[in-house]
């Protein structure tokens, strides 16, 4: 078997808040092979972005900290790496595309300055070579008149163009791993499709691995090979994209899939929803965290010690009742 490029084991991340300690990510584990694509899906607040920030070493300090677990990247534990080492890796070997391009870009620096800065930090190129590299990268992400765009500021570009610039900055050093955190959230539908096609195309060109973080199962189906479903900070189901879409075992995964509108649905019918509310991270149940919303709930679901079961060698689920579903 291919050795994983990234192996996350038992990752637990906590935040100190005014209301006490909050565990935003609790025991998350997954493997990502070189060149592979893994999707992390779940509703807002489930821990998707915190998982990504933990991998990148970008948790807000001093409030956010990795409590336990390992982030094994090519044999090196990033959870134990110092900031100097993480700075050498970020943007060079592991890059991230953030949700909102207008906040990811610096409004007071030109596009060219922000692109060449990354090249200057991670390579020995001369200033002239840095400019050429930046212009070529803007061309690769489909930005017209790249020489002109180099002189412009983020506010002068459309949302789709800004997102292309963010992708260019993330990929300019040809990283081995790209983490895309809701890369199409702020864009309209047609631009969303263009950006997803662009990311998939560049992934193949560079041969890099990718983690796609989203709440949109359609994006997962289109771009990913493996899927991690998160709920209230935990992984509740994990498997191939075919396992998750064709043979979902967790009631939460099944509820997410039912909520997707289909072309065969009768018009003007209400969409399926998952009743109830996500439990507060300040007051999590000791047993199954989905129990208060689950129609298959039983007394044993409220007991402590709920473990992950193997459905197959590559498909796992955190549920006591999955065999009856």
pLDDT in tens, 164-192: 999 999 999 999 999 999 988 777 888 88
Q: What mean pLDDT is predicted for residues 5-30?
A: 95
> Residue 227: is its pLDDT beyond 70?
yes
Q: Dmax of the chain from CA atoms? A: 68
Q: Which residues of 142-166 are buried (b: 16+ CB within 10 A; e: fewer)?
A: bbeebeebbeeebeebeebbbbbbb
pLDDT at residue 125, rounded to an integer: 95
Average pLDDT value for residue range 35-45: 94
231 pLDDT exceeds 70?
Answer: yes
The pLDDT assigned to 27 comes to: 95
Segment 100-131, tens digit of pLDDT: 777 889 999 999 999 999 999 999 999 999 99
pLDDT for 1 equals 60
* Half-sphere exposure in the Cβ direction for 12 (13 Å, CA): 9
Read off φ and ψ for residue 134, nearest 5 degrees: -65, -45
Mean pLDDT of 149-166: 94
**Measured in whole angstroms, how far is the alpha carbon of residue 78 from the centre of its chain?**
17
> Of 171-180, 245-254, 258-267, which gets the smallest average pLDDT?
258-267
- Of 79, 66, 58, nearest in space to 6 by CA: 79
Give the CA radius of gyration of the chain: 21
- How confident is the model over 51-88, as pLDDT tens digits? 999 999 999 989 999 999 999 999 999 999 999 999 99
Tell me: the pLDDT tens digits for 271-304?
Answer: 888 999 999 999 999 999 999 999 889 888 988 7
Fill in the DSSP letter of residue 90: B
Contact 147, 155 (CB under 8 A): no
Mean pLDDT of the chain: 93
Peptide linkage before 48 cis (omega within 30 of 0)? no
Average pLDDT on 4-25 reads 95
Does pLDDT of 261 surpass 90? no
Distance (Å, whole) CA 245 – CA 226: 11
Residue 293 is encoded by which pair of tokens? 């919303």
Q: Is the pLDDT of residue 93 over 80?
A: yes
Count the Cβ atoms, other than its own, within 10 Å of residue 133.
Answer: 18
Look at residue 98 in the predicted model and tell me its pLDDT: 86
Q: For residue 311, what are the contacts with CB-CB under 8 A and spacing of at least 6? A: 239, 243, 247, 249, 317, 322
pTM of the model: 0.93
- What are the structural domains, with CATH classification, of the chain? 6-88+214-324 (3.40.50.300)
Whole-number pLDDT of residue 86: 94
Burial class (CB in 10 A: 0-12, 13-18, 19+), 117: middle
What's residue 22's pLDDT?
94
Burial of 272 (C-beta count, 10 Å sphere; 0-12/13-18/19+): middle
223: its two tokens: 């771009």
CB 74 within 8 A of CB 114: no
Instruction: Describe the crossing of helices 111-122 and 127-140 by its angle, rounded to 10 degrees.
Output: 120
pLDDT higher for 306 or 28?
28
């Amino acid at each position: 078997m291919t050795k994983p490029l990234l192996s996350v084991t038992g990752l637990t991340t906590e935040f100190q808040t005014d209301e006490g300690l909050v565990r935003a990510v609790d025991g998350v584990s997954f493997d990502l092979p070189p060149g592979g694509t893994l999707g992390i899906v779940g509703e807002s607040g489930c821990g998707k972005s915190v998982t990504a920030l933990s991998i990148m070493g970008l948790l807000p300090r001093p409030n956010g900290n990795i409590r336990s677990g390992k982030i094994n990247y090519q044999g090196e534990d990033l959870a134990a790496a110092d900031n100097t080492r993480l700075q050498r890796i970020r943007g060079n070997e592991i890059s991230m595309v953030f949700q909102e391009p207008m906040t990811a870009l610096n409004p007071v620096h030109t596009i060219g300055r922000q692109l060449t800065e990354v090249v200057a930090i991670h390579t020995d190129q001369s200033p002239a070579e840095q400019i050429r590299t930046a212009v070529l990268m803007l061309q690769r992400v489909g930005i017209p008149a790249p020489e002109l765009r180099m002189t412009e500021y983020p506010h002068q570009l459309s949302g789709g163009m800004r997102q292309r610039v963010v992708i260019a900055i993330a990929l300019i050093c040809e990283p081995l791993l790209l983490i895309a955190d809701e890369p199409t959230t702020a864009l309209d539908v047609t631009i969303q499709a263009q950006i997803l096609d662009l990311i998939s195309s560049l992934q193949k060109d560079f041969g890099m691995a990718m983690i796609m973080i989203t709440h949109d199962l359609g994006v997962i189906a289109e771009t990913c090979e493996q899927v991690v479903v998160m709920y209230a900070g935990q992984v509740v189901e994990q498997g191939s994209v075919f396992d998750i879409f064709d043979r979902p075992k967790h009631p939460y995964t099944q509820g997410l899939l039912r909520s997707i509108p289909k072309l065969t649905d009768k018009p003007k019918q209400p969409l399926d929803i998952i009743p109830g509310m996500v439990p507060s991270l300040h007051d999590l149940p000791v047993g199954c965290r989905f129990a208060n919303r689950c129609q298959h709930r039983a007394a044993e679901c409220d007991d402590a010690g709920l473990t992950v079961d193997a459905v197959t060698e590559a498909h796992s689920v955190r549920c006591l009742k999955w065999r009856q579903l």
